[in-house]
Chain A
Amino acid sequence: MTLLDVKHLSVRYGALTIVNDVSFSISEGEWLMIVGPNGAGKSTIVSAISQGTPYTGEVFVQGRNIKSLRARDLAQTIGVLAQSHAMGYGFTVGAVVRLGRYAYSPGLFSGSRDEDEAMVTRALELTGLTRFAEQNVLTLSGGELQRTFLAQIFAQNPRVLLLDEPTNHLDLVYQKQTFELITEWLKTPGRAVVSVVHDLSLAKAYGTRGLLLDGGKTIVCGETGEVFAPEYINHAYSMDVAAWMRRMLAQWQEEGTR
């Protein structure tokens, strides 16, 4: 089943075209990796789909035009994880995660249903944050903060995850943890993931499909094997990507055999 269908999406700031007529769709169980050099328009696509940036074209979720959905229905369908979070006030981790249940019970006197509590508890467990629940978010490390917002999305329980460079400023351990958590999340039927990723190795390892952008335009969209083929990727990045990766890896192999 197609969960997200993006048709002829364009974003313009005045005369500047950031995203130019991009179309793609993803189905249940798929993980689409949006890749491309800086300034290709990757993050803008995520921002447009989450209704944070004005766009032309159409976006459908489960067959319904996204603009016809109420904010709360949209949040039950799509969950967005930003690449970083600047916290201003000292909320507890539990309070941030609990906001993920807002879409299911808006209003003042809600948020105390058993189902909501169970989802929040589970999201904290999944992300390993249970013992941080009462901790002030201002005291967390970057990785812990990112996990807090991942837990918020898990509590939100959407069909599609939209991730904007989710591990951009995280170290290797957190990158591995985050990508494995999302792989686990994706195993439940009826779910799909779209993520913007800089690291091509990560994209190749975890993605099922790819969308390569350059200068706001689609270069290629399809199975990861096809998208990461040298003829496309080398052109977009203006270098021999695979050769460079092999050279990097060779250093590790040499050290390993020494």
Chain B
Amino acid sequence: MRHNSQPGAGGVSPSPAPSVYGGRREGFRAGELVLFSLATLATMALCVCVGSVSLPLKETLTVIWNTIVGLPVPQGISVPIILSVRLPRVLCVALTGAALSICGGAMQGLLKNPLADGSTLGVSSGAALGAVIAIAFGITLPGIPFAGTMVLAIAFAFLSLLVILSLAHKIDYSMSTNTIILVGVIYSMFVSSILSLIVTFASDHVKQITFWTMGSLLGASMQNALVLFGSLIVFGGIILRYARELNAFAISEDNARNVGVPVRQVKLTLLIAVSALIGVCVSVGGTIGFVGLVTPHMVRMIVGPNHRRLLPASLFGGAIFLMLADLVARILLNPVELPIGVVTSFVGAFLFIVIFYRSRRARL
């Protein structure tokens, strides 16, 4: 394989015809889009139907469809369950999964680090700290009910990311995978100690604070789903826009600079978009760990490492993964409900070890 071909010599096709590698086929194909959408919708239908009270699929779909197109909704006990309990929750879960996964995919590319994710880097914990401070000190913005929590969660997510990355940069100029993860762990510990401190002083908010550290989308509303959807369109759109630049970063930051990526500007934009999305997710559903770590890895096995395919696929994959995790959380110990973060962390921790082990082996 090694020395058998002189460069420029050998079987080279002179035809300037459209090449078969990458390029024109680099993006997400229509067929894949349909396939991933169908899988997501099917999972969504399953998750709305199954639960402490199981509902027939046909009736569920009729209720949802009639509501959407404005036809009279058939009466029955199942209608409020579907429309005000199950559907908003499943939608929020799907959107959160999609948002966290595209963030994980973007961070893994940007930092060239297969272990990067909002939870492993401590960004989610930082966002939760912001949310908890807003609750404990009663910080609100006039007009919108949960804007105070959200704004503080976003601001803290971004600040956390800055602190973690600059600290990692100071410790280890090359910002190796292990250094970033180590700093993330230390930062998470630091944040949880502050959280405990706040709990001590604001004991009347213990329940809410626990919710934020465990993560749950119990009682999520349509309003929450709309906010998640809006942020996913805006910030997810920004991340998708930089898919090509992320490919360059995933090779190396130096290579990104060499091929002409405005490194600082792109990096800052992506970090802001990622922090904003994680901040919104945390303010709605608390810290749900490891989704952003697990999904891109599973999706990469299907569509490959190219971010133009990986990122859109992560959106769908993340939605499906988190909806299934939420389903398990709801029905495993029925009628007791597990926090969704317990399920995702359980899966995520195993995967984390597998990836870490493999990446260490690869270097030896």
In the complex, the answer to whether A74 meets B23 with C-beta atoms within 8 Å is no
Residues in A whose Cβ lies below 8 Å from that of B9: 128
B residues 250-272 with Cβ under 8 Å of A?
250-252, 254-255, 257-263
- Which of B6, B113, B258 has the most chain A CB atoms closer than 10 A to its own CB? B258
Does A134 sit at the interface, judged by CB under 8 A?
yes
A99-B248 in contact (CB<8A): yes
Is there contact, CB below 8 Å, between A128 and B251? no
From B8, B248, B250, residue with most partner A Cβ within 10 Å: B8
Query: Which single member of A50, A51, A111, A120 contacts B244 (CB below 8 Å)?
Result: A111
Residue B10 CB within 8 A of the other chain: yes
Q: What are the residues of chain B within 8 A of A87 when measuring CB–CB?
A: 251
A108 close to B241 (CB less than 8 A): yes
Tell me how far the C-beta of B116 lies from the nearest C-beta in chain A, rounded to whole angstroms: 11
- The answer, among A70, A79, A126, A127, for a CB contact under 8 Å with B258, is A79
**Using Cβ atoms and an 8 Å threshold, which residues of chain B touch A108?**
240-241, 243-244, 308
Q: Note all chain B residues with C-beta closer than 8 A to A126.
A: 7-8
Q: A50-B258, A99-B255 are in contact. Are A147 and B12 (CB under 8 A)?
A: no
Say whether A34 faces chain B, with CB atoms less than 8 Å apart.
Answer: no
B19 touches A121 (CB 8 A): yes
Query: Within 8 Å of chain B (Cβ to Cβ): is A80?
Result: yes
**Are the C-beta atoms of A94 and B22 separated by less than 8 Å?**
yes
A134 near B258 with CB under 8 A, answer no
Residues of B within 8 A of A238 (CB): none
* A88 and B12 contacting across the interface, CB-CB below 8 Å: no
**B245 neighbours in A (Cβ, 8 Å):** 102
- How many angstroms between the C-alpha atoms of A152 and B256 in the bound complex? 12
A103–B259 contact, CB under 8 A?
yes
Given known contacts A79-B258, A91-B305, A98 and B6 CB-to-CB distance under 8 angstroms: no
A95 on interface, CB distance cutoff 8 Å: yes
Residues of B within 8 A of A94 (CB): 19, 21-23
For chain A, the count of residues having a C-beta within 8 Å of the partner chain is: 61
* Candidate in B5, B10, B18, B114 with the most chain A CB atoms within 10 angstroms: B5
**Would you call A243 an interface residue if the criterion is a C-beta within 8 Å of the partner chain's C-beta atoms?**
no
Which residues of A lie under 8 Å from residue B112 when comparing CB positions?
88-89
- Please indicate the chain A residues that have their CB under 8 angstroms from the CB of B241 in the complex: 108
Please name all residues of chain A whose beta carbon is closer than 8 Å to the beta carbon of B1 when the two chains form the complex.
141
Contact A128 B8 (CB under 8 A): yes
* A80 touching B258, Cβ below 8 Å: yes
Interface size, chain B (Cβ < 8 Å): 49
Q: Counting CB contacts under 8 A, is A156 at the interface?
A: yes
B361 in contact (CB, < 8 A): no
CB pair B11–A131 under 8 Å, yes or no, is yes
The contact string, 1 if C-beta is below 8 Å from chain B, for chain A 209-225, is 00000000000000000
Is B172's CB within 8 Å of the partner chain A?
no
CA distance A107 to B261 in the complex (A): 10
**Shortest Cβ gap from B179 to chain A (Å):** 15
As a 0/1 sequence over residues 218 to 247 of chain B, the CB contacts with chain A under 8 angstroms (1 = contact) are: 000000000000000000000011011101
Query: A177–B251 contact, CB under 8 A?
Result: no
- For the complex, give the distance between the alpha carbons of A102 and B240 in Å: 16
B-side contacts of A120, CB under 8 Å:
19, 23
Prevailing SS type, chain B contact patch: loop
State in angstroms the CA–CA spacing of A243 and B11 once bound together: 44
| Complex CA distance for A238 and B66, rounded to whole angstroms | 88
Which of B2, B261, B263, B304 makes the CB contact (< 8 A) with A143? B2
Task: Give Cα A131–Cα B23 distance, bound, in whole angstroms.
Answer: 16
B59 adjacent to chain A (CB < 8 Å): no
B261 touches A71 (CB 8 A): yes
| Residue-wise interface mask of A (80-95) relative to B, using a CB-CB cutoff of 8 A (1 in contact, 0 not) | 1010011111111111
Please measure, in the bound complex, the distance between the C-alpha atom of A89 and the C-alpha atom of B252, giving whole angstroms: 10
A89, B305: Cβ atoms under 8 Å?
yes
Q: Are A75 and B258 in contact (CB under 8 A)?
A: yes
In the assembled complex, which residues on chain A have CB atoms less than 8 Å from the CB atom of B7?
126-128, 147, 177, 180-181
A121 touches B6 (CB 8 A): no
B203 at the interface (CB under 8 A from A): no
Residue B360 at the chain A interface, CB threshold 8 Å: no
**Residues B21 and A92 in contact, CB atoms below 8 Å apart:** yes
**Nearest CB of chain A from residue B172's CB, rounded to whole Å:** 15
Contact of B22 among A75, A76, A95, A130 (CB under 8 A): A95
On whether the beta carbons of A91 and B251 are closer than 8 Å, the reply is: yes
Whether A98 contacts B16 by the Cβ 8 Å rule is no
B32 within 8 A of A: no
Q: How far is the CA of A114 from the CA of B15 in the complex (A)?
A: 12
Instruction: Known A106-B244, A125-B8, A127-B7; judge A89-B250 contact (CB<8 A).
Output: yes
With A82-B254, A131-B11, A134-B21 known to touch, is A100 a contact of B5 (CB < 8 Å)? no
Question: How far apart are the CA atoms of A173 and B263 in the complex, in Å?
Answer: 35
A contact set with B: CB distance below 8 Å: 50-52, 70-76, 79-80, 82, 85-96, 98-100, 102-103, 106-108, 111-112, 114, 116-118, 120-121, 125-128, 130-131, 133-134, 141, 143-144, 147, 149, 152, 156, 173, 177, 180-181, 184
Which 8 A-B residue pairs are closest in the complex by CB-CB distance?
A75-B260, A94-B21, A103-B260, A89-B305, A128-B7, A133-B21, A71-B262, A72-B260
Q: Can you sample 8 A-B contacts with CB below 8 Å?
A: A50-B254, A70-B262, A75-B259, A80-B254, A99-B251, A121-B19, A128-B7, A147-B7
Not counting A99-B247, A120-B23, a sample of 20 additional A-B residue pairs whose C-beta atoms are within 8 angstroms of each other reads A50-B257, A51-B257, A70-B262, A72-B262, A73-B260, A76-B260, A91-B251, A92-B22, A93-B21, A99-B244, A102-B261, A106-B260, A108-B308, A127-B7, A133-B20, A134-B21, A152-B255, A152-B259, A156-B258, A173-B3
